[in-house]
Amino acid sequence: MNSTSNSASAPLSAAVGKAINWSIALSILLILAGLFAILIPPISGLGVTLFIGWAMIVGGITHLIFAFKTHTTGSIFWEILVGALYIFAGGYLISHPLVALLSLTLLLAAYLFVEGILEFIYAFKVRPRHGSFWLVIDGIITLILAFMIWRTWPSSSAWAIGTLIGISMLFSGISRLMLSLAAKRVLKQTL
C-alpha cells in the first residue's frame, strides 16, 4: 500500500516541482528587469509612461467595442464616454510623456505605499513558512521607496520612477526567489 501512495504522489510532486522551477525562473526575470530599470532610469521611466498610455488607449477601444455590444441606450452612452476618456487620457500620456511622468511619479508613491502595507499583511499571513521574513524586508524597502518618491517630487521625477521601480522589482524578485528556494528545499525533504 505504501508503494501505491508513493506512486500517486509522484505526479503531484512533479507538478509542484515544475511550479517551483517556474517561480524561480520568473523571480530571476523580475530581478533582471529591476536591474535594467535601475541602470537606465530615464528610459525605464518614460517606458512606463508610454506603456500606461498605450494600455489606456487599448482599454478605451475595448470600452467602445463593448458599447456597441450592449443593448440599452444608457449603457451605450456611458461605455462610449468611458472609452473616450480612456483614449483621451492615454493619448495625453503618449503625447506629453514628461508631464505625465510627473503625475505618474506621485501615483507611484501612493502605489508603493499600498504595496508595502500589503506585503506586511501577506508576510504575517504566511508567517510560519520558511522565507516569509523576506516579505517583511520587501515591505520595509517598498515603504522607504514610497517615502523617497514623495519627498523628492517633482525635482527627481525624471530618474525616480525608473530607479525606484527597478529597486522595488529587484527586491520583489529576490524575496520571491528566496520563497521559491525555501519551497524547493521543503519539497526535497518530503520526498
Q: Would you state the pLDDT for residue 86?
A: 93
Which residue, among 128, 149, 150, 124, has the nearest Cα to 138 in the 3D structure? Answer: 124
- The number of beta carbons lying within 10 Å of the beta carbon of residue 87 is 18
Q: Would you state the pLDDT for residue 125?
A: 86
Is the pLDDT assigned to residue 191 strictly greater than 90?
no
Q: Give the three-class secondary structure for 164.
A: helix
Is the pLDDT assigned to residue 23 strictly greater than 70?
yes
pLDDT digits (tens, 9 = 90+) for 131-169: 778 888 989 998 998 898 888 888 777 777 788 778 888
Q: Would you state the pLDDT for residue 96?
A: 92
Q: Would you state the pLDDT for residue 84?
A: 94
Is the pLDDT assigned to residue 48 strictly greater than 80?
yes
Euclidean distance between CA atoms 111 and 53, whole angstroms:
17
* Confidence band, pLDDT 50/70/90 cuts, at residue 1: very low
As a whole-number percent, the residues of the chain with pLDDT over 70 amount to: 93
Q: Which residue has the cell 509542484?
A: 16
pLDDT digits (tens, 9 = 90+) for 100-127: 888 888 888 898 899 999 988 988 888 8
Q: What are the structural domain ranges in the chain? A: 2-39+97-190, 43-95
Euclidean distance between CA atoms 27 and 21, whole angstroms:
10
Q: What's the mean pLDDT when you consider all of the chain?
A: 85
pLDDT digits (tens, 9 = 90+) for 72-106: 766 788 888 999 999 999 999 999 998 888 888 88
**What are the counts of helices (DSSP H) followed by strands (DSSP E) for the chain?**
6, 0
Euclidean distance between CA atoms 117 and 139, whole angstroms:
7
* Confidence band, pLDDT 50/70/90 cuts, at residue 16: confident
Evaluated on CA atoms 43, 46, 48, 51, the torsion sign reads negative
Question: Measured in Å, how far apart are the chain's first and last C-alpha atoms?
Answer: 17
